[in-house]
Amino acid sequence: MKLNFANLMEQLAIRFGPCEALVNIERGRRYDFAELHRLTNRIAHMLRERLALRRGDVFLCILDNDSLSLLHTWTALKGEAAAAWTNLRDSLDEHLWQVDFIKPKVVFLENHLLDAYFGPLRERGVTVVCMDPVAEPREGLHYFWDLVEGLPDGNPGVESDTTRDILIYRFTGGTTGRSKCAEYTMDNWLASRDSFYAEFEQLYAPDTRYLHLAPISHGSGLLILPTLFRGGCAVTQNIPDLSIWCRNVEAERITNSLMLPTMIYRLLDLPAAAEHDLSTLRAIGYGGSPMSPAKLRQAQDRFGNIFSQGYGATECLQIVTNLTQADHLTATDKQLGSAGRVGGHLELRVVDDNGQDVPPGETGEIWLRSRATISGYFGNPEQTAAEFAEGFWHSGDLGYIDEEGFLYLVDRKKDMIISGGFNIYAVEVEAAVNAHPAVEASAVVGIPHEEWGEAVHAEVVLRAGADISADALIGHCKENLGRFKVPKTIAFVAALPLSSAGKILRREVRDRYWAGKGRRIS
């Protein structure tokens, strides 16, 4: 089926025309629905007419949230060429690897990156578009707003096959190695939107004001379309600063936002959270890593029952499971440690090593299939063949479903520790470590041990002003874990390695201990 996405936005512009649709805080831009529709039409014309980007071409965005918002789904789905979004916080080497891999004709770039990036990009024959004026022009460099100037704001008239034409690329977070490039159709994104509307709790309405603190190139960007199609407003923040977030919540009367668990932990101790009026908040989603039930209880006591958890993935572009606000009121501590219940808008299987479904309560690998599941990775047939079959994505996440339908994620396959013949899941151990009030975050890995093969080791970041000995923290874990799961050693560190999306990189912690040694598991 073919669809002209601009026609969908035209209906939204008619219905919600004067209502705010997009606010870029740092650059002070505000667009209502009618203005945003006309502007994204002009940008779609610009991509085709002034940058000669046609079907099959790719443009790459290395941009802050406010700049990327101009080229997000409401623009990308209107055009012919495919948009590739990457995380601004990735390194130059990572970005250049992405450029070499996906071969974009055009790169949209923040001005502060020009000195380092312009030369390597031009050597690769890439046209560069900067988002702010430059002091001195350069050959092959264009200014975004000059390119947009004077173009018509009417419907670009582009029809795309909703299930065949690739319109967006996103790079995976890379927590387990070199990032992969997921490819998306329009239907993948519309299915993602629909998954939020199929949930038992509806968190989107015409008065929704969604503050995007996390990169919209990643998980936070999934909330753009659900907010838009309900008549709500997306508000972007570039600087990942929680004090600024608190100020923006008050100033913009924010109702919704998304955070990693570690950010909620920090919010508990943040003076700005008490200095600003956060009473407009109705919904804070969290996900991306497990959250300590003990700290979640603290957050509920402090901010109210506004939290809900979602589990999803780059490869399955939707909310897969949801621990609702209602669940948070009645859940046991064990259930608070779950990923929530599976929605009725996708297929989720938990399977053994032979691909056979396992009984409730038994751990296996999670497979996912829905309209939002991608068909594979760009330029990577080997990994596509390894992870996709009959529409299912083989996630590599290990988990189980209990009799009440709650999904428990116990680990990634590559993060499982095998010590003395026992399978130990790092996530479970981290939950026990993080439950101590002195702990801000932890990373649990298996390190070499002559007798057991691997020993459980934890690297721990303490909360500001907190103090605890390794022996005392091990004693705390013994109260909550089986003997063989308790960390044998603990190291206190100032910080843990994080991905550009803010996720803890266990592999970097693990690799320090296994350098020059063979591993029992991959």
Is 441 among the domain residues?
yes
Do residues 473 and 460 lie in contact, with contact meaning Cβ atoms separated by under 8 Å? Answer: yes
Consecutive 10-residue averages of pLDDT for the chain (522 residues): 98 98 98 98 98 98 98 98 92 91 98 97 97 92 98 98 98 62 97 93 95 93 97 96 97 95 87 96 86 85 94 90 93 88 91 93 94 95 93 91 89 70 76 90 86 84 92 91 86 87 80 66 34
Is 431 among the domain residues?
yes
Is 218 among the domain residues?
no
Question: Which amino acid makes up residue 30?
Answer: R
DSSP letter at 482? -
Both tokens of 272, joined, read 């700005």
Question: Which amino acid makes up residue 164?
Answer: R
For position 184, what pLDDT does the model report? 98
Is 312 among the domain residues?
no
Total structural domains within the chain:
1
Query: How many other CB atoms are found less than 10 A from the CB of residue 360?
Result: 11
Report which of 496, 418, 520, 407 is spatially closest to residue 175, judged by C-alpha positions. 496
CA 413 to chain centre: 20
Query: What does the alpha-carbon distance between residue 287 and residue 251 come to, in Å, rounded to a whole number?
Result: 26
Query: What does the alpha-carbon distance between residue 19 and residue 232 come to, in Å, rounded to a whole number?
Result: 8
Please report which residue ranges of 436-488 form alpha helices under DSSP H.
Answer: 470-478
Is 427 among the domain residues?
yes
For position 53, what pLDDT does the model report? 98
For position 91, what pLDDT does the model report? 81
Is 491 among the domain residues?
yes
Is 137 among the domain residues?
no
Which of helix, strand or coil describes residue 516? Answer: coil
Domain around 449: 415-514
Residue with tokens 């994204």: 40
Whichever domain contains 444, its CATH number is 3.30.300.30
Phi, psi (degrees; rounded to nearest 5) at 57: -80, 160
Is 432 among the domain residues?
yes
Report which of 234, 198, 189 is spatially closest to residue 85, judged by C-alpha positions. 189
For position 490, what pLDDT does the model report? 94
Q: Is the pTM of this model over 0.75?
A: yes
Query: What does the alpha-carbon distance between residue 274 and residue 269 come to, in Å, rounded to a whole number?
Result: 9
